[in-house]
Amino acid sequence: MTLQEKYIQKVLPYLMTEVPDGEVGEFYKNGAKAYNFPCPFCWGTTSKDRNKRKRVAALLPTKECKHVYVFYCNRHGSAECQRGRSFENFLWLYKPRIAEQYKFEKQNI
């Protein structure tokens, strides 16, 4: 398990519980496991409950390396999800404490 995959596993429980009735789906993209979920940044900007639960955001493995992930949101409903972000940048915006742990562990490899 790579460092990014380890930290994705740490973040998944938050993604499942912070959005009411939110679910995380798994699928394969570019030869590796990818995850889709309701966007933690813009789910509250929609008025209908069924739209809030839609899995419009994803952590996707890159084409160049299946162990490097990027965050992408199809809704683009907030400043945080207007464009794709590296996994580390996503962590800093979403869970800064976990991002600090990730940075520390990444530096000490």
Other Cβ atoms closer than 10 A to 34: 19
What is residue 29's predicted lDDT score, i.e. its pLDDT? Answer: 93
pTM comes to 0.89
Kindly tell me the number of DSSP H helices and DSSP E strands found in the chain: 4, 5
Angle separating helix axes 3-17 and 87-94, nearest 10 degrees = 40
- What is residue 41's three-state secondary structure? coil
Distance CA 107, CA 35 (A): 26
Q: What is the pLDDT along the chain (109 residues), one digit of tens a residue?
A: 899 999 999 999 999 888 777 899 999 998 899 999 999 999 888 878 778 888 999 999 999 988 999 999 999 888 888 899 999 999 999 999 999 999 999 998 7
32 token code pair: 């590796």
